[in-house]
Amino acid sequence: WGSYVHNLVITGSLGIGKTYVMVTLLLYRLTLCTLLKNPQKFFDLGKGDKIVYNILSVTKQAVNETAFGAARNFMSLSPYFIEECNFDPDSKYTNFRIELPGNVNLTAGSKGWHILGRNVLGVAMDEGNWRNEANPDTKAYDLYNEVRVRIQNRFMRSGKFLPAISILASSAKDESSFTEQVIKEIDKANDPVHQLVYRHAVYNIKPHILKMEGTFFRVAYGLKTQEPYILTGLYDREKTPLPGDEKHEEVPAGANVEFVPIEYMTEFKRRTRVALQSISGISTGGSNRFFPSTIDIERCIELAESEGVVNPARKDSPLLMPVSMEDSINVWDYLDHNKFITKNQGRFVPKRHPYAARFAHLDLATSSVAGLAVCHLVGQRQIQGVVNRETGVPFAEWRLVVEYDFILSLSAGRTKPISLEKVQNFIFWLIQECGFRFSMVTADQFQSVMPLQMLQSRNVPTDQLSIDRDKKVYTAWRQAFEELRLRPYRQDMMVQEAENLVDVETEKKVDHPKNGSKDTSDAAAGAYFNAIESDEKGSVNVDNVPSIHSNFGLTPASAVERPPVEIPLPEGYNRMRVYS
């Protein structure tokens, strides 16, 4: 059927004619349909059923000024459409419907109901027009997904063959954009016969127009721990190093590299990330993300690992730990107890900083995912910066360092919801069996009353903490990452959620993307906030709370450390001196 492709994304840099190509491909498919002797029979439709090819945009005015207007212009220059299909080149088609022979129609719209109940064999969408909408990625994805589902349900044949097509045209933006979500789905499908992504840079599309001299520099990108940057050294068209005084820098392990004509060097030096998007057509971390990159998160994880912080989960434990009443498995059954508790004078105590108070936050749920995080203060780190960017007045102050004991993602069972009782029992178990001392346990307002009351009945300090009512919790958490004051072990769910958090400017909260989550990151951010807001912070004037470990130092050379001092022991504890 002309081509087996039924899902196509055309993306890349600005000015390469993405909308032009999108409209051309849609009209090509429409032309094939009109050439069929009996298109309704070919597509297993009823006699006389209308066949629709649709162009979507944010508003009818937008679609008329862009893709639908381009389609009319193309058709007005085509003898086939004018002579064989009765297209009127003088008509503006203000009703956004062009009727062709065989009950084939080209239409345009902006809402899902514009295609509701219709036999849509082709849809084209210019995603760039959605950028002025509130929550553009969510709305665009909802509409695009709705169209895709309708096409598949109506026309999918055996062997993945689908005689319909959906085309998305968009410039490269950021990795959290709607277009990138669709691209990830296509990559995951790994079906290049039926689903394709075309991504091109302007200098690859228009070399005959730009007439560049043929010298290239390289840009490294794609590292989660580093922003895109220019590598030293120049190259010819065959990517052969050119002689010169400048060293040809090696590509970092795990990085992607783009060869860019030297004519664009100035723009790349000024704004590497933006130039990579607008000139090379490569999507990178987005400005609408709460964390523009995961550089600081990865550095904190590396510091934690170097200081001996480990993942307490058993190696065979799933990332999403099912905790429901359909079995007898408890939260602690997923953990390797030797990693976080040890025996001291006949009783179990936390292996790391046993005398430090713990702080926890529960992001509760029953049917989806719940997050649970426990952390403690481990000292302070001197942070230096500038108070006033204009006057350049410097500052230096000591700020709290927080280490995580647990960052857990809990899920429902196969048939029953998450057991809130088992979640609260885990806190009791840490207190009674493992010697943990809690100064504060908080939970969001959703279903938190009963668990918090049970904890209060056992003299555990509790409170409610809503992460979604104010950005201050997440803002404080991000600042701690930026200042390398967090010590989390690698918990993939937390890292993934943090990487995709969206800063919603029109609201007072940090949100997750469409079909995403933030339960685990909510728990981690809430536990940290409890720690830095606690009364305990006033007594933490050292870099290290006493621990049975000898590795107390902060690893980075930039960290200014204070000498340890004696800290009063909680009632009932004996001091044990450990020799290295």
| Rg of the Cα atoms in the chain | 29
Give CA–CA dist 351/435, Å, rounded: 10
Residue-level pLDDT at 161: 63
Q: Collect all residues with Cβ–Cβ distance below 8 Å to 138 and sequence separation of at least 6.
A: 178, 513, 514
Amino acid at 548: I
Residue-level pLDDT at 553: 32
Dihedral angle, C-alpha 279, 281, 282, 288, nearest 10 °: 90
How many angstroms separate the Cα of 45 from the Cα of each of 125, 141, 402? 25, 28, 64
Q: Collect all residues with Cβ–Cβ distance below 8 Å to 428 and sequence separation of at least 6.
A: 455, 458
- Can you spell out the DSSP letters for 44-55? T--TT--EEEEE
How many angstroms separate the Cα of 171 from the Cα of each of 12, 14, 131? 5, 6, 11
Is the distance from CB of 215 to CB of 239 less than 8 angstroms?
no
- What pTM was computed for the model? 0.53
Residue burial 529-558, b: 16+ Cβ < 10 Å; e: rest = bbbbebebeeebebbbbbbeeeebebeeee
End-to-end CA distance of the chain: 74
Which residue has tokens 């790994």? 190
Q: Collect all residues with Cβ–Cβ distance below 8 Å to 107 and sequence separation of at least 6.
A: 52, 53, 54, 55, 96, 97, 98, 114
Average pLDDT along the chain, 580 residues, taken 10 residues at a time = 76 86 94 92 88 82 84 95 94 91 89 66 72 49 72 64 83 66 85 89 87 92 78 94 90 91 93 87 70 86 96 95 92 96 93 95 84 95 69 77 97 90 94 95 80 88 88 92 95 91 70 80 96 77 41 33 40 42
Is the distance from CB of 534 to CB of 439 less than 8 angstroms?
yes
Q: Which of 410, 433, 407, 432 is nearest to 421 (CA)?
A: 410
Give CA–CA dist 486/480, Å, rounded: 6
Of the CA atoms within 13 Å of residue 242, those in its CB half-sphere come to: 15
Give CA–CA dist 481/381, Å, rounded: 12
CA 569 to chain centre: 43
**What is the dihedral sign for C-alpha 67, 72, 75, 81?**
positive
Of the CA atoms within 13 Å of residue 297, those in its CB half-sphere come to: 23
Give CA–CA dist 494/406, Å, rounded: 11
Is the distance from CB of 52 to CB of 239 less than 8 angstroms?
no
**E-strand spans in 116-273?**
119-126, 165-171, 195-200, 216-221, 229-235, 256-261
Residue-level pLDDT at 516: 77
Residue-level pLDDT at 131: 42
Backbone angles phi, psi at 79, to 5 degrees: -60, -35
Give CA–CA dist 260/501, Å, rounded: 31
Give CA–CA dist 66/508, Å, rounded: 35
